[in-house]
Amino acid sequence: MAHAENETTISRSPEDVYAFLADGLNNPKWRSGIQHITLKSGSPGALGTVYSQTLTGPGGRPIAGDYEITTADPGQRLCFQVVAGPARPSGEYHLSAAPGGTKVRFTLDLQPKGLMKIAGPMIARTMQTEVAQLTNLKSVLEAA
């Protein structure tokens, strides 16, 4: 299994951080590599909501990365499952109150199957890059 994890503390309340993360339309503000994202079904932050997104893949080619919210616990936990595209990791944002703000832990997990196993090291690097973008989230939310 490929696993990536990162953590940061943001000088905003857990409710503010959750609300920003739960609305996938905010993703381009802090995650590089998103070419396009739309709300496909549901309401921002609601269980079962699906976002359709196009990501920049290897060689700059567009790849699908649609995801569904699988856990919605406002101010505490937001989980998702990628439901389209070549790699389909699950992810979790775990939020907890910290002195002066919110501690955010972002994890991604993927169980590669078939030919995906060959690309394991590249997938692991991509996942590490993705969770490292928490520093961008911190910058965006603290500037607001």
Per-residue pLDDT of the chain (144 residues; tens, 9 = 90+): 889 999 999 999 999 999 999 999 999 999 999 999 999 999 998 999 999 999 998 888 999 999 999 999 999 999 999 999 888 899 999 999 999 999 999 999 998 776 666 666 777 788 899 999 999 999 999 998
Burial of 103 (0-12, 13-18, 19+ CB in 10 A): middle
Distances (CA, A) of 53 to 10, 15, 42, 43, 95: 26, 25, 15, 16, 24
**Domains by residue range for the chain, with CATH:** 2-143 (3.30.530.20)
